[in-house]
Amino acid sequence: MVAIVDPDEDLVRRVGQGDPAAAQTLVARKLPRILALGQRMLGDAAEAEDVAQETMLKAWRQAPKWTPGKARFDTWLHRVALNLCYDRLRRRREIPTDSPPDRPDEGPAPDRGLLAAETGVRVDAALKRLPDRQREAVVLCHYQELSNIEAAALMEISVEALESVLSRGRRALRLALADMAPGASEGDGR
Amino acid sequence: MKAERLQTLAEAYGADLRRWPASDRAFAESLLAADPSLRAMLDEAAALDALLDASSAPTPSADLAARILAAAPKPRARRFRLDRIVWYLGAGWAAAACAGVVAGVGLTTHLTANERADAVLYQSTLVAVDDTEVLG
Residue A2: its pLDDT value, please? 66
Q: A8 with A26: CB under 8 angstroms?
A: yes
Q: Name the pLDDT band for A37 (thresholds 50, 70, 90).
A: very high
**Cβ–Cβ below 8 Å for A123 and B51:** yes
DSSP H stretches of helix in A95-147: 116-129, 132-138
Residue B88, pLDDT above cutoff 90 = no
CA–CA gap between residue B109 and residue B44 (Å, rounded): 103
CA–CA gap between residue B81 and residue A42 (Å, rounded): 47
Residue A111: its pLDDT value, please? 46
Give me the residues of A, 133-152, that contact B with CB < 8 A: 138, 141-143, 145, 147-149
Compute CA A82 distance to the chain's CA centroid, rounded to the nearest angstrom.
Answer: 8
DSSP H stretches of helix in A43-158: 45-62, 73-94, 116-129, 132-138, 148-155
Give exposure, A78-101, as e/b (b: 16+ Cβ within 10 Å). Answer: bebbbebbeebbeeeeeeeeeeee
Q: What domains lie within chain A, and their CATH numbers? A: 1-98 (1.10.1740.10), 110-190 (1.10.10.10)
Numbers of helices and strands, H then E, in chain B: 6, 0
Residue B83: its pLDDT value, please? 65
Q: B34 with B61: CB under 8 angstroms?
A: no
Residue A49, pLDDT above cutoff 70 = yes
CA–CA gap between residue B60 and residue B67 (Å, rounded): 11
φ, ψ (nearest 5 deg) of residue B9: -65, -40
Residue B119: its pLDDT value, please? 65
Nearest neighbour of B64 by CB, restricted to A28, A49, A127: A49
* Neighbour-count burial of B68, counting CB atoms closer than 10 A to its CB (0-12 exposed, 13-18 middle, 19+ buried): buried
- Which residue, among B104, B78, B60, B65, has the nearest Cα to A32 in the 3D structure? B60
Rg of chain B in Å (alpha carbons): 48
Q: A169 with A162: CB under 8 angstroms?
A: no
What is the residue-wise DSSP string for B87-128? HHHHHHHHHHHHHHHHHHHHHHHHHHHHHHHHHHHHHHT--S
Residue A188, pLDDT above cutoff 70 = no
Strand, helix or coil at B75?
Answer: coil
Chain B residue closest in CA terms to A119: B54
Residue A102, pLDDT above cutoff 50 = no
- Reported pTM: 0.74
**Cβ–Cβ below 8 Å for B13 and A148:** yes
CA–CA gap between residue B45 and residue A169 (Å, rounded): 12
- Which residue, among A170, A141, A23, A8, has the nearest Cα to B48 in the 3D structure? A170
* Inter-chain CB pairs, A–B, below 8 Å: 119
Instruction: Please indicate if any CB of chain B lies within 8 Å of the CB of A102.
Output: no
Q: A51 with A81: CB under 8 angstroms?
A: yes
Residue A187: its pLDDT value, please? 43
Dump pLDDT digits (tens) for A74-98: 999 999 999 999 999 999 888 766 5
Q: Name the pLDDT band for B133 (thresholds 50, 70, 90).
A: low
**Cβ–Cβ below 8 Å for B14 and A142:** yes
Residue B131: its pLDDT value, please? 52
Dump pLDDT digits (tens) for A152-180: 999 999 999 999 999 999 999 999 999 98
> Which range, of A33-42, A82-91, B29-38, B51-60, averages the lowest pLDDT?
B29-38
Dump pLDDT digits (tens) for A110-156: 445 557 788 999 999 999 999 999 999 999 999 999 999 999 999 99
Q: Name the pLDDT band for B85 (thresholds 50, 70, 90).
A: low
Give exposure, B2-39, as e/b (b: 16+ Cβ within 10 Å). Answer: eeeebebbbbbbbbebebbbeebeeebeebbeeeeebe
Residue B82: its pLDDT value, please? 62
Q: A50 with A111: CB under 8 angstroms?
A: no
Mean of pLDDT values over B39-67: 95
The mean of the pLDDT values for chain A is 88
